[in-house]
Amino acid sequence: MKVLIAEDYNEMSKKASDILFHAIVTNKKVVLGLATGGTPITTYDLLVESIKASKQSLTHVHTINLDEYVGLQSDCRHSYHRFMEEHLFQHISIPTNQTHLPNGATTDLHIECQRYEELIASHGGIDLQLLGIGKNGHIGFNEPGTSFLTNTHIVNLTPSTIKANARFFSSIDEVPKQAITMGISTIMKSKCILLLASGKSKATAIKELLEGQITEKCPATILQKHPDLIVVADKDALSEVKEDTLEKLGKVQNELFFTKTTFS
């Protein structure tokens, strides 16, 4: 594990976007696992800027998103499909047939889960998986108590996640109660994981991730076992973590180390 410390949200976003851009530039084919939520928004803005400034071709880039709400059509303004369009896809030119999200509007959700696993396998797995983290330690939509052995599956969202995500909807009643998400096992198979966290509201989850016992009660703790995990967090998100822990885990001052990750 490597922990990259940022002053604040903007610096976290810059470091994360530099890592993503590096992965795009240095690979002949790259499969990016992408995430939604408030955390990666500026990362995507900065990535768009870097891609435009360098006129980088994206024909070799494939994207596979972590999750989607159940019951929302892809063009619904609250869907994760729309989120990805608005924050990334419409600004750059990844071929449309190379961008993938789960279809939460299908009538057979179980077949959709299987299809999604097969889709990931048919791409040779995910090279770099971007993750945020929920206040309760959820990753993707894998809520506390989810088995570490899960593949892509349907979840019932917890009241705390529904409440946290209500800020993107007009009212809490509009937040879907279910989602389709890559499972913990799916996420763990990614060759490299880049987890982002910003702000005091994530401090307890980040402390658990870095210092806690590995337990299904806090899904993110399983990431301690991943062979190539990069955590980019700002000082507020790291405020409950002991300095000793950061030294032990391999605190790094800048993103140059990234040239040595396993999949590049």
Residue 59 Cβ, how far from ligand GLP at the closest point, in Å? 27
Does the annotation mark 68 as catalytic?
A: no
Can you tell me which of 12, 18, 37, 72 binds ligand GLP, judged by CB under 6 A? 37
Contact region with ligand GLP (CB under 6 A), list: 107-115, 121-129, 134-142, 145-153:
134-142
Can you tell me which of 35, 70, 220, 233 binds ligand GLP, judged by CB under 6 A? 35
- Contact between 116 and ligand GLP by CB under 6 A: the answer reads no
Furthest-apart CA atoms within the chain: distance in Å: 50
Contact region with ligand GLP (CB under 6 A), list: 9-17, 129-137, 209-217, 230-238:
129-137
How many Å apart are CA 66 and CA 35, to the nearest integer?
Answer: 6
How many Å apart are CA 217 and CA 220, to the nearest integer?
Answer: 9
HEC letters along 106-148: CCCHHHHHHHHHHHHHHCCCCCEEEECCCCCCCECCECCCCCC
- Contact between 161 and ligand GLP by CB under 6 A: the answer reads yes
Which residue's CB is nearer to ligand GLP, number 3 or number 175? Answer: 175
- In the range 162-201, which residues lie near ligand GLP by CB under 6 A? 165
HSE-up (13 A, CA, CB side) for residue 241: 28
**Burial letters 33-54, b for 16+ CB under 10 A, else e:** bbbbbebbbbbbebbbebbeee
Can you tell me which of 104, 137, 140, 176 binds ligand GLP, judged by CB under 6 A? 140
> What is the CA angle 129-217-134, rounded to 5?
45
Residue 16 Cβ, how far from ligand GLP at the closest point, in Å? 12
Residue 176 Cβ, how far from ligand GLP at the closest point, in Å? 11
Distances (CA, A) of 79 to 37, 89, 90, 137: 11, 14, 15, 22
Tokens coding 5: 């410390």
Helix (H, G, I), strand (E, B) or coil at 241: coil
Which residue's CB is nearer to ligand GLP, number 198 or number 261? Answer: 198
- In the range 54-93, which residues lie near ligand GLP by CB under 6 A? 66-67
How many Å apart are CA 31 and CA 19, to the nearest integer?
Answer: 14
Which residue's CB is nearer to ligand GLP, number 34 or number 56? Answer: 34
Does the annotation mark 138 as catalytic?
A: yes
How many Å apart are CA 159 and CA 99, to the nearest integer?
Answer: 30
H-helix or E-strand spanning residue 181: strand 178-181
Which residue's CB is nearer to ligand GLP, number 23 or number 205? Answer: 205
Can you tell me which of 6, 16, 18, 39 binds ligand GLP, judged by CB under 6 A? 39
Residue 263 Cβ, how far from ligand GLP at the closest point, in Å? 21
Active-site residue list = 67, 136, 138, 143
Chain positions contacting ligand GLP, by CB under 6 A: 35-39, 66-67, 132-134, 140-141, 161, 165
